[in-house]
């Protein structure tokens, strides 16, 4: 971010003098100032989201139900107000998206069914190895497993489990809303869609550093282990954030990233070391390799924008003066 206002972060329309961007046409701020406004807005959102977790003073650990309930309240309030930040950004920059705010943030009906199913299918293909590992280690067979999954009592227990609600519902919904649906529309006119895919996850990754303070506070491990764990978490959350940002741009929907986020929270990071020592190591490692290979092969076809209708972020960039944005059809 040291190059803000320089050649690295600029309104894409600067390279197309034959068509002025909306902000210039409306007498808005210049490209450099627009980038500063965009980045400051994203930083404000990230700080507000993380700060909302600590407005409640408590000596209890983060997984205690009382702590989780309080954080639900504050996070939902901040997430509900986050679209106001996009509205303020629009007024300050003078950029007019050409679509409604909800549509720009991925709340739309056009193409919603493929947007819900195909990204989740693609993510499950990537996790083919871990899914095989989970199946091999499960004591019950497939029929019994399906009965448990589909049983109303199982879902009732989940809905009363605060940790399950946090990991599978509240965290995926609020994080994707704030860090993808709100941030990407503000970053894209400044950086372009390609760089935005990798810039947006930095805010997402840094936002997870607050776990360091909780681990240090409750002495959950040595200082070195805590910081090493935090660096690792930042790395994979940034990579995951880039993936869901890609999905959001290519589908124009929020539901796909939310479902993929929930699925990945359930699966956790792939237990590669355990797979290497598994009694059925060979077929398991073959499943890992096959999943990655199929994922790379199907990534573009299953996220083809033609499957999802018009893309709001592409419309936004066209109005900003860039009709040849990458990732757009």
User: How many C-beta atoms lie closer than 10 Å to residue 56's C-beta?
Assistant: 14
In angstroms, rounded to a whole number, what is the distance separating the alpha carbons of residues 156 and 173? Answer: 20
Q: What is the pLDDT of residue 54?
A: 82
Q: What is the pLDDT of residue 31?
A: 61
User: How many C-beta atoms lie closer than 10 Å to residue 132's C-beta?
Assistant: 21
Report whether 85 contacts 269 (CB < 8 A): no
pLDDT per residue as tens digits for the range 132-191: 999 888 877 667 767 777 788 888 888 899 999 999 999 999 999 999 999 999 999 888
Q: What is the pLDDT of residue 140?
A: 73
Write down the number of H helices and E strands in the chain. Answer: 18, 0
Q: What is the pLDDT of residue 292?
A: 97
Distances (CA, A) of 313 to 80, 107, 213: 21, 13, 36
Give 4's strand partners.
9
DSSP code, position 5: T
Q: Pick left, alpha or beta for residue 311 (phi over 0 → left; psi -120 to 50 → alpha; otherwise beta).
A: beta
In angstroms, rounded to a whole number, what is the distance separating the alpha carbons of residues 179 and 46? Answer: 8
In angstroms, rounded to a whole number, what is the distance separating the alpha carbons of residues 252 and 72? Answer: 27
In angstroms, rounded to a whole number, what is the distance separating the alpha carbons of residues 141 and 146? Answer: 9
Report the candidate in 43, 46, 27 with the shortest Cα–Cα distance to residue 35.
Answer: 43
Encoded tokens for 77: 């309030």
Report the candidate in 242, 250, 256 with the shortest Cα–Cα distance to residue 199.
Answer: 242
Q: What is the pLDDT of residue 251?
A: 96
- Tokens 């840094």 locate to 206
Q: What is the pLDDT of residue 79?
A: 95
**DSSP characters for 116-144?**
HHHHHHHHHHHTHHHHHHHHHH-SS-HHH
In angstroms, rounded to a whole number, what is the distance separating the alpha carbons of residues 190 and 194? Answer: 11
Q: What is the pLDDT of residue 238?
A: 87
In angstroms, rounded to a whole number, what is the distance separating the alpha carbons of residues 234 and 252? Answer: 26
pLDDT per residue as tens digits for the range 46-60: 889 988 888 888 778
Q: Give the best-scoring range by mean pLDDT among 35-39, 227-231, 302-306.
A: 302-306
Distances (CA, A) of 10 to 2, 188, 216: 13, 10, 40
Q: Which residue numbers are catalytic?
A: 175, 208
pLDDT per residue as tens digits for the range 107-129: 999 999 999 999 999 999 999 99
SS (H, E, C) 10-45: CCHHHHCCCCCCHHHHCCCCCHHHHHHHHHHHHHHH
């Amino acid at each position: 971010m040291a190059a803000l206002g320089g050649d690295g972060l600029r309104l894409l329309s600067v390279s197309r003098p034959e068509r002025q961007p909306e902000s210039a046409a409306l007498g808005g701020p210049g490209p450099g100032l627009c980038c500063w406004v965009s980045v400051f807005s994203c930083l404000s959102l990230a700080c507000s989201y993380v700060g909302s977790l600590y407005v409640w003073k408590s000596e209890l650990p983060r997984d205690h139900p009382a702590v989780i309930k309080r954080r639900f309240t504050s996070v939902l309030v901040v997430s509900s107000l986050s679209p106001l930040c996009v509205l303020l950004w629009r007024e300050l920059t003078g950029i007019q998206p050409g679509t409604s705010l909800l549509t720009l943030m991925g709340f739309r009906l056009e193409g919603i069914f493929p947007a819900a199913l195909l990204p989740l299918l693609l993510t499950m293909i990537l996790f083919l190895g871990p899914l095989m590992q989970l199946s091999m280690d499960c004591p019950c067979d497939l029929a019994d497993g399906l009965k448990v999954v589909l049983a109303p009592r199982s879902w009732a227990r989940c809905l009363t489990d605060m940790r399950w609600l946090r990991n599978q519902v509240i965290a995926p919904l609020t994080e994707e809303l704030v860090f993808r649906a709100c941030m990407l529309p503000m970053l894209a006119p400044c950086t372009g869609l390609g760089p935005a895919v990798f810039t947006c996850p930095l805010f997402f990754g840094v936002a997870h550093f607050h776990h360091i303070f909780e681990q240090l506070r409750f002495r959950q491990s040595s200082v070195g282990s805590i910081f090493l764990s935090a660096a690792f978490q930042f790395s994979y959350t940034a990579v995951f954030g880039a993936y869901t940002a890609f999905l959001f741009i290519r589908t124009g929907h929020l539901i796909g990233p939310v479902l993929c986020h929930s699925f990945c929270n359930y699966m956790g990071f792939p237990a590669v070391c355990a797979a290497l020592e598994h009694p059925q190591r060979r077929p398991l490692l073959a499943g890992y390799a096959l999943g990655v290979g199929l994922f790379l092969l199907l990534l573009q076809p299953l996220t083809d924008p033609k499957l999802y209708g018009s893309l709001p972020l592409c419309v936004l960039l066209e109005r900003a003066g860039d009709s040849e944005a990458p990732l757009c059809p």
